[in-house]
Amino acid sequence: MSEQTSANFYLLVQTHAMQALLACQGGTLGDKTIERDLGLARVEISLLEMLQEKTRGNLTTEEAAFLADALHECRMAFVRAVDEEAKTNPKEKTSATESSGSPGGDEPSEVAAGEAQAAAKATATSSSGAPLDSNGG
């Protein structure tokens, strides 16, 4: 991939990840208040998942890792947001989960468990994929 194409790829991933994270968290941006929108977060995460699927085997190691890390961050933010919504409105299902669950089609707790396992595996390997010893090296 050319340097410009690679830069555009990073920008594309970053743009969708930022949209997903902002939709999960809500907040203020300048003088605008942005409401939490778990439906939008799910759409953005699904787009990143589709991008990962369609580009599998065609990315550099760094690009694939960047996309995987962005997806992990977004999924974890989504799970946290769904959990917060459940605590805030325990009798209501959130609009993002009532039809088909969280991104990837699993229930939030299943996603969290899977992500936790993946995170544990990721922290147990170096960036080159080699297992780390007990000293981290």
Neighbouring residues of 87: CB distance < 8 A, sequence distance ≥ 6: none
Q: Which burial class, exposed, middle or buried, applies to 48 when counting CB atoms under 10 A from its CB (0-12, 13-18, 19+)?
A: buried
H-helix segments, the chain? 3-25, 38-55, 61-88, 108-123
Residue 123 predicted with pLDDT over 60: no
Nearest Cα neighbor of 121 from 72, 81, 87, 86 is: 72
pLDDT digits (tens, 9 = 90+) for 98-111: 544 555 554 444 55
Name the token pair of 32. Answer: 């605008």
pLDDT single digits (tens) 33-50: 989 999 999 999 999 999
Pairing of strands 27-29, 32-34: antiparallel
User: What is the predicted pLDDT for the residue at 90?
Assistant: 78
pLDDT at residue 51 in the model = 98
Averaged pLDDT for residues 77-94:
86
Average pLDDT over residues 18-39: 92
